[in-house]
């Protein structure tokens, strides 16, 4: 049996899923995507998992599509075994927060994964880019994830030119949240995860729902829908516990090991 190309480990409510196909620069092969989906399915189904961190081994976080596999006839390639839409869309559909720990270069489809995370931190030396036009295709599906985060002028520039840029420029364009020195990425990601663990599972799920739904609504519909959601949340057990903890000046029950609010 060959070694898995995706590894996962859960510690203290945090599931770290690691892309580990260094030989292929963590390209989105059928095998990698299938193993990644299985790891994410397991993390989603595990009630002890509160936060999912997606990271990598090697110098490349994700090089996009596996081009060798794409060049094979469709009946010989396993690349279509999992619909890429299912991969990209699941991060938004999930009730659990996803953190991208981008510990290497990230281009093409990898940019879609980085942008799909709820919070992404990259090392500041990581090269990023939408390189699709240089192999005769377009950043099609990932544009659904990336364009809402970008100024149209920035998107026209980087998607049409197909050039690469460093992570701080990706941060400026809104594609990732932070670009930090490599020696600080562990600390920064740990801080982000600690903040997420301080929020209640129900509240985080509801907030993700708001972030996905409200921008698609007109204001009247949004106010009506959010009013109902707010009332339901205030009636919920998490709100009762959170308010009681605030008034009693103690950590809420969902905070691991009595951490700070």
User: Catalytic one among 69, 78, 132, 169?
Assistant: 132
What is the Cβ-side half-sphere exposure of residue 205, based on CA atoms within 13 angstroms?
Answer: 11
pTM: 0.90
Q: Kindly list the distances between the CA atom of residue 176 and the CA atoms of 128, 138, 256, in Å, as whole numbers in the listed order.
A: 11, 21, 27
When pLDDT is cut at 50, 70 and 90, the band that residue 74 belongs to is: low
Task: Write the CA distances from 50 to 43, 88, 118, integer angstroms.
Answer: 9, 20, 13
Report yes or no: 97 and 118 within 8 Å, Cβ to Cβ: yes
In this model, does residue 59 exceed pLDDT 80? yes
Q: Sketch the domain layout of the chain as residue ranges.
A: 6-196, 200-258
pLDDT tens across 175-199, in order? 999 999 999 999 999 999 999 999 9
Q: What is the pLDDT of residues 116-135, one digit of tens each?
A: 999 999 999 999 999 999 99
Residues 131-138: contacts with CB under 8 Å, at least 24 apart = 131/64, 131/107, 131/162, 131/164, 132/64, 132/108, 132/159, 132/162, 133/159, 133/160, 133/161, 133/162, 134/162, 135/67
Topology of 6-196 in CATH? 2-enoyl-CoA Hydratase; Chain A, domain 1 (3.90.226)
Query: In a 3-state reduction of DSSP, which class is residue 42?
Result: helix
- pLDDT at 258 > cutoff 50: no
Distance CA 24, CA 29 (A): 9
According to DSSP, the residues that pair with 165 across neighbouring strands are 128
Using CA atoms, how far residue 78 sits from 32, 35, 241, in Å, is: 10, 12, 48
- Residue 132 bears catalytic tag: yes
Architecture of domain 200-258: Orthogonal Bundle (1.10)
Cα 81 to Cα 29: distance, rounded to the nearest angstrom = 10
How much is the average pLDDT of 34-54?
96
Do the Cβ atoms of 187 and 202 come closer than 8 Å?
Answer: no
| Stronger pLDDT, 84 or 104, i.e. the higher one | 104
- pLDDT tier, 72 (very low <50, low <70, confident <90, very high otherwise): low
Secondary structure class of 95 (helix, strand, coil)? coil
pLDDT, tens digit, for every residue of 202-222?
A: 999 999 999 999 999 999 999
């Amino acid at each position: 049996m060959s070694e898995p190309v995706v590894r996962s480990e859960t510690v203290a409510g945090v599931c770290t899923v690691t892309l580990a196909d260094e030989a292929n620069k963590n390209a989105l092969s059928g095998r990698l995507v299938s193993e990644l989906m299985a790891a994410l399915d397991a993390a989603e189904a595990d009630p002890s998992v509160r936060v999912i961190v997606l990271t990598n081994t090697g110098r490349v976080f994700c090089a996009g599509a596996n081009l060798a596999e794409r060049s094979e006839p469709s009946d010989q390639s396993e690349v279509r075994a999992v619909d890429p839409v299912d991969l990209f869309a699941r991060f938004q559909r999930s009730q659990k927060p996803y953190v991208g720990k981008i510990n290497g270069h990230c281009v093409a489809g990898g940019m879609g994964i980085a942008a799909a995370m709820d919070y992404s931190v990259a090392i500041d030396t990581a090269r990023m880019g939408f390189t699709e036009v240089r192999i005769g295709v377009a950043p099609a599906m990932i544009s659904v994830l990336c364009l809402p985060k970008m100024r149209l002028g920035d998107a026209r520039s980087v998607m049409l030119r197909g050039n690469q840029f460093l992570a701080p420029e990706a941060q400026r364009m809104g594609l990732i949240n932070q670009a930090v020195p490599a020696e600080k990425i562990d600390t920064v990601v740990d801080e982000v995860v600690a903040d997420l663990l301080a929020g209640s599972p129900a509240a985080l799920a509801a907030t993700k729902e708001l972030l996905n739904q409200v921008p698609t609504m007109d204001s009247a519909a949004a106010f009506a829908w959010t009013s109902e959601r707010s009332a339901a949340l205030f009636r919920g057990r998490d709100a009762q516990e959170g308010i009681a903890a605030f008034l009693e000046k103690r950590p809420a029950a969902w905070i691991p090991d009595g951490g700070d609010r």
